[in-house]
Amino acid sequence: DIQMTQSPSAMSASVGDRVTITCRASQGISNYLAWFQQKPGKVPKRLIYASSSLQSGVPSRFSGSGSGTEFTLTISSLQPEDFATYYCLQHHSYPHTFGPGTKLEIK
């Protein structure tokens, strides 16, 4: 099975900060990597698919990059509504696997 790791597991940041979250796969997954945002009590929301394609309706301050085993999600200028937990997902091979999540909190 492909293992996904995320770093950091948690972080605090301020409105306006630039934030980068990293996701690593234990083996190559091409660009079969998606990023999700989840707020407490809410359904996960897809932000990025195919590693770097922005979901329609998602603000352009979100961007994704990477291929193979290392991927990043960047938020260029944090907004108050961005404080949430972020998950990566590999869907290259079965079983699909999510990263453990990165909790982004307000500093």
Partner 1 sequence: QLQLVESGGGVVQPGGSLRVSCAASGFTFSSYGMHWVRQAPGKGLDWVAFIRYDGSNTYYAGSVKGRFTVSRDNFENTLYLQMNSLRAEDTAVYYCAKGSWFGESTDAFDIWGQGTMVTVSS
Query: Encoding tokens for residue 4?
Result: 């996904």
Q: Which stretches of the chain bind partner 1, using CB under 8 A?
A: 1, 31-32, 34, 36, 38, 43-46, 49-51, 53, 55, 87, 89, 91, 94-101
40-70 b/e with 16+ CB inside 10 Å = b? eeeebeebbbebbeeeeeeeeebbbebeeee
CB nearer to partner 1: give 33 or 78. 33
Q: Which residues contact 48 (CB under 8 A, 6 or more apart)?
A: 33, 34, 35, 54, 55, 58, 62, 63, 64, 73
CB nearer to partner 1: give 78 or 89. 89
CB nearer to partner 1: give 16 or 57. 57
In the complex, minimum distance from the CB of residue 83 to partner 1, in angstroms, rounded to a whole number: 17
In the complex, minimum distance from the CB of residue 42 to partner 1, in angstroms, rounded to a whole number: 9
In the complex, minimum distance from the CB of residue 77 to partner 1, in angstroms, rounded to a whole number: 25
